[in-house]
Amino acid sequence: MVGGQAWVVLDMVSIGRGGKRLHFAGGESLTMSRTTVLWAARRISPRQARRR
């Protein structure tokens, strides 16, 4: 969350020199170099069994 708002990543693209570009649901993008530190969390744990 940034400023109390959750950001949902739609796509991640590799760019030159080990960088990544994240594209978010709201149309924003973030370009990270290989030295960028980014902390992220999931809304739902992937370890929990899904109910059907």
Between CA 1 and CA 8, with CA 17 as vertex, the angle to 5 degrees is 20
> What does the pLDDT profile of the chain (52 residues) look like in tens digits?
556 677 888 999 999 999 999 999 999 999 999 999 877 777 776 677 666 6
d(Cα 49, Cα 52) in Å, to the nearest integer? 10
SS3 assignment, position 18? helix
| Model pLDDT, residue 8 | 86
Instruction: Look up the pTM and report it.
Output: 0.63
| Model pLDDT, residue 22 | 92
**Cβ distance 18 to 35 under 8 Å?**
no
| Model pLDDT, residue 52 | 60
**Residue that is written with structure tokens 């370890």 in the block:** 47
